[in-house]
Amino acid sequence: MLSIQHFSKTYPGGKRAVDDLNLNVAPGEIFGFIGHNGAGKTTTLRAVAGVMDFTEGTITIDGHDIRREPTAAKKVTAFLPDNPDLYDFLSGIQYLTFIADLYDIPQKDRQARIQKYAEAFEITGNLGSPIGSYSHGMKQKLALISALIREPKLLILDEPFVGLDPVASHLLKGYLSEICGRGGAVFFSTHVLEVAEKLCHKIAIIKGGVLVKSGVTEELVGDSTLENVFLELEGEGS
């Protein structure tokens, strides 16, 4: 579903944020991307989502090169940044309709999907109000709904559990499994190692822009915990 080959990104100031990254996310997989602050997680996710330009390496989503066929690749993708800024001047329902229009979601489907997710996240009653009046958590829920109604083949999430209440977090985990159940894939970054350990089929750990470990969660963790593995890797060379 997602293939990242020899991806590198150097920022204008000269900082090499990611160096020769290779990753593959198969259909049906929830893939966790872990690393300390500034390790290169967000840079990678933004490049995968086609939000950020890059010159080294190739990224393909469902067979579409994100640089050569960005529209086709984005059509099957949904991306949620860590702090999603939405249009404050639109109401919640206007924003969801706007996204549904951009992704050509048929009228009947969008109605049913908006209803399903808005009711689950309990924000149906607020959909008529301007987004500017929403709390941070409500904005995050709205952004999540806007991603889920697309029924994406690849869902890319940057720290999706930050700011969500426990009920919404639980719901989200269920929806991630649902996407994988219908042949999609999820690629997300997180600092919540317990969640990653329980939820992800595979995990990759990045440090200073370089992939230091990647594999099936059970094999990677072994008899230890993900936290211990992560801390050991962080300790090496520091």
Residue closer to another protein, measured from CB, 127 or 203: 127
Candidates 2, 21, 127, 168: give the one binding another protein (CB under 8 A): 127
Query: Quick check: 137 binds another protein (CB under 8 A)?
Result: no
Query: Quick check: 28 binds another protein (CB under 8 A)?
Result: no
Shortest Å, Cβ 191 to another protein: 21
Shortest Å, Cβ 82 to another protein: 11
Residue closer to another protein, measured from CB, 129 or 214: 129
Query: Quick check: 128 binds another protein (CB under 8 A)?
Result: yes
Beta-bridge partners for 32: 188, 203
Residues 53-82 that bind another protein (CB under 8 A): 53, 70-72, 74-75, 77, 79, 81
Other Cβ atoms within 10 Å of 48 Cβ, number: 26
Stretch near another protein under the rule CB under 8 A, chosen from 15-23, 44-52, 161-169, 183-191: 44-52
Could you give the count of Cα atoms lying within 13 Å of 169 in the half-sphere of its Cβ? Answer: 14
The DSSP annotation for 203-232 comes to EEEEETTEEEEEEEHHHHHTTS-HHHHHHH
Residue closer to another protein, measured from CB, 13 or 181: 13
Residue closer to another protein, measured from CB, 106 or 166: 106
Query: Quick check: 136 binds another protein (CB under 8 A)?
Result: no
Any long-range contacts for 58-67 (C-beta under 8 Å, 24+ apart)? 58/3, 58/4, 58/5, 58/6, 58/7, 59/2, 59/3, 59/4, 59/5, 59/7, 60/2, 60/3, 61/1, 61/2, 61/153, 61/154, 62/1, 62/153, 62/154
Residue closer to another protein, measured from CB, 75 or 191: 75
